[in-house]
């Protein structure tokens, strides 16, 4: 199999390829929008005489995006690229040069695992896109992707956020490339030398050690660059539009805090996540409690419409939200206000093919694209379509927020990008916004506060949310 590339590399991509080409295993720690996929395509192009195929692991939601990128930048045809789907199996998989496999499927589908296993040989090239998906050393998908790929001579990991949770994230990603890089055959050896755990809270990491040693060990295998270092992009503009809880929401907001406080004796990350999620659901307009579901009067949808009318009429708008309930609510109010064909919406309930059809509809005629951050925050490139994003609400992690922002802040964007947050004052939104400002994690930040106070003061912290 032979092919040519059809687009030129940017200067920093040339640097990346030149540095990593001599090594059979390597890492591209390149921020979103800097062209990780294009760099890997060039590594494949330079090595095509040495490899028999590419098995490319990536989040399920971006498989179609990757397929389109390969077609855009190479002379490969549709028949040369095969993306796994829910019917793929080892007996009937078509012959191709480039196979695209959803990372999540490696933990949920034995059929996918067996098929990928049959494809990978010593001469296969295995890149893992968004390698933070395999940062958990004990997760099933991490163990399976790593085990299957060990026989492949050429391996690459790609991510813009290699250490989203700290140094602990480094082990599994480097282990995928080779245990020789860090020099540890097990996570426990790695942890003993580099991680300090809390004596009070088992499993909680309080400090990292010998980080300079780790940096030196990975340096020969890593190319790292930020957007600020290599790109000149239009600035980001931010606005916040506030609303308040209705009387009904406030009643149930306080009720849920009291209920959770009375149920729990120990406050760990799981219980805090449960509390934050329940409060955020109420702020979004519904109560889900012990199998019962109740819609609540909310000012948020009306505030969304107000924001939209402040944006120039001819602009397409992407709206990010968190819950499936949000998707359904936003879709309903937008159709009522702007017409049945004005909006395309998808989340994890929508099959992959229908999502791709929805994006095409947004490209053609729809004014609004409504997506959850978990589904639309990775892999999609909409810089040629929109310069306005509304965050109906946010998740708990800054890393997810920045991923969503950069769907439109990428090479090819010629205008300033504007991000509008709808913020419910005197609610859990205050905590989430504070964490986003500090580029952190709302649940983890609150956990640190809980750990820092005496047990009899925890109730005061919870009541103040």
Domain shared by 370 and 423, yes or no: yes
Q: Output phi, psi for 123, to 5 deg.
A: -100, 15
What's the confidence (pLDDT) of residue 122?
96
Q: Output phi, psi for 92, to 5 deg.
A: -125, 15
What's the confidence (pLDDT) of residue 20?
96
Structure tokens at 16: 């990346």
Q: Is residue 6 part of a domain?
A: no
Distance (Å, whole) CA 253 – CA 15: 53
Domain shared by 248 and 351, yes or no: yes
Domain shared by 369 and 450, yes or no: yes
Give the C-alpha distances (Å, rounded to integers) separating 62 from 65, 131, 352, 447: 5, 13, 9, 33
Domain shared by 250 and 363, yes or no: yes
CB atoms within 10 A of CB 447: 19
What's the confidence (pLDDT) of residue 201?
66
Domain shared by 418 and 299, yes or no: yes
44 close to 97: Cβ distance less than 8 angstroms? no
Nearest to 35 by CA among 72, 9, 5: 9
Q: Is residue 410 part of a domain?
A: yes
Q: What is the CATH number of the domain that holds 226?
A: 3.40.50.10810
Domain holding 273, by residue range, is 236-463
Domain shared by 144 and 75, yes or no: yes
For 119, the enclosing helix (H) or strand (E) is helix 110-119
Q: What is the pTM of this model?
A: 0.71
- Which of 230, 256, 277 is where one domain is finished? 230
The total number of structural domains that make up the chain:
2
- Which of 208, 230, 252 is where one domain is finished? 230
Domain shared by 303 and 448, yes or no: yes
345 close to 331: Cβ distance less than 8 angstroms? yes
Q: Is residue 5 part of a domain?
A: no
What's the confidence (pLDDT) of residue 436?
84
Distance (Å, whole) CA 380 – CA 403: 10
Q: Is residue 360 part of a domain?
A: yes
- pLDDT tens for residues 249-268? 999 999 998 888 887 667 77
**Number of DSSP helices (H) and strands (E) in the chain, helices first:** 21, 17
Q: Which residues of the chain have pLDDT under 50?
A: none
- Which of 179, 200, 230 is where one domain is finished? 230
What's the confidence (pLDDT) of residue 296?
94
Domain shared by 314 and 373, yes or no: yes
What's the confidence (pLDDT) of residue 250?
94
């Amino acid at each position: 199999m032979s092919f040519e590339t059809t687009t030129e590399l940017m200067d920093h991509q040339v640097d990346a390829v030149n540095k990593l080409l001599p090594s059979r295993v390597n890492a591209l720690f390149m921020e979103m929008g800097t062209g990780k996929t294009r760099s890997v395509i060039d590594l494949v192009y330079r090595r095509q005489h040495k490899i028999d195929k590419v098995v490319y692991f990536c989040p399920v939601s971006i498989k179609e995006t990757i397929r389109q990128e390969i077609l855009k930048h190479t002379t490969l045809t549709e028949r040369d690229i095969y993306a796994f789907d829910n019917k793929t199996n080892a007996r009937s998989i078509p012959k191709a040069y480039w196979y695209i496999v959803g990372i999540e499927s490696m933990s949920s589908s034995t059929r996918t695992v067996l098929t990928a296993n049959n494809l990978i040989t010593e001469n296969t090239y295995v890149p893992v896109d968004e390698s933070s998906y395999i940062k958990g050393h004990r997760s099933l998908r991490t163990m399976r992707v790593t085990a299957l790929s060990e026989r492949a001579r050429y391996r690459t990991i790609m991510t813009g956020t290699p250490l989203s949770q700290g140094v602990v994230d480094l082990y599994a990603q480097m282990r995928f490339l080779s245990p020789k890089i860090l020099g540890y055959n097990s996570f426990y050896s790695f942890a003993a030398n580099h991680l300090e755990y809390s004596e009070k809270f088992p499993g909680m990491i309080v400090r990292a050690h010998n980080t300079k040693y780790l940096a030196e060990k990975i340096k020969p295998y890593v190319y790292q660059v930020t957007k600020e270092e290599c790109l000149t992009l239009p600035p980001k503009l931010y606005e916040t539009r506030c609303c308040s809880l209705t009387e009904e929401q406030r009643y149930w907001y306080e009720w849920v805090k009291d209920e959770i406080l009375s149920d729990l004796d120990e406050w760990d990350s799981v219980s805090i996540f449960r509390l934050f999620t329940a409060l955020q659901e109420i702020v979004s307009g519904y109560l889900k409690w012990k199998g019962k579901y109740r819609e609540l009067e909310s000012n948020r949808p009306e505030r969304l419409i107000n924001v939209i009318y402040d944006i120039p009429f001819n602009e397409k708008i992407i709206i990010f939200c968190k819950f499936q309930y949000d998707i359904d609510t936003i879709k309903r109010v937008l159709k009522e206000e702007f017409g049945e064909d004005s909006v395309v919406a998808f989340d994890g309930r929508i099959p992959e093919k229908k999502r791709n059809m929805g994006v095409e509809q947004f490209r053609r005629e729809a004014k609004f694209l409504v997506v959850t951050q978990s589904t639309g925050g990775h892999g999609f490139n909409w810089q040629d379509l929109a310069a306005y994003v509304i965050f109906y609400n946010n998740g708990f992690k800054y890393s997810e927020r920045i991923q969503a922002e950069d769907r439109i802040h990428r090479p090819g964007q010629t205008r300033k990008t504007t991000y509008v947050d709808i913020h419910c004052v005197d609610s859990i939104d205050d905590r989430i916004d504070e964490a986003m400002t500090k580029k952190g994690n709302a649940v983890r930040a609150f956990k640190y506060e809980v750990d820092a106070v005496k047990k009899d003061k925890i109730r005061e912290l919870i009541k103040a949310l």
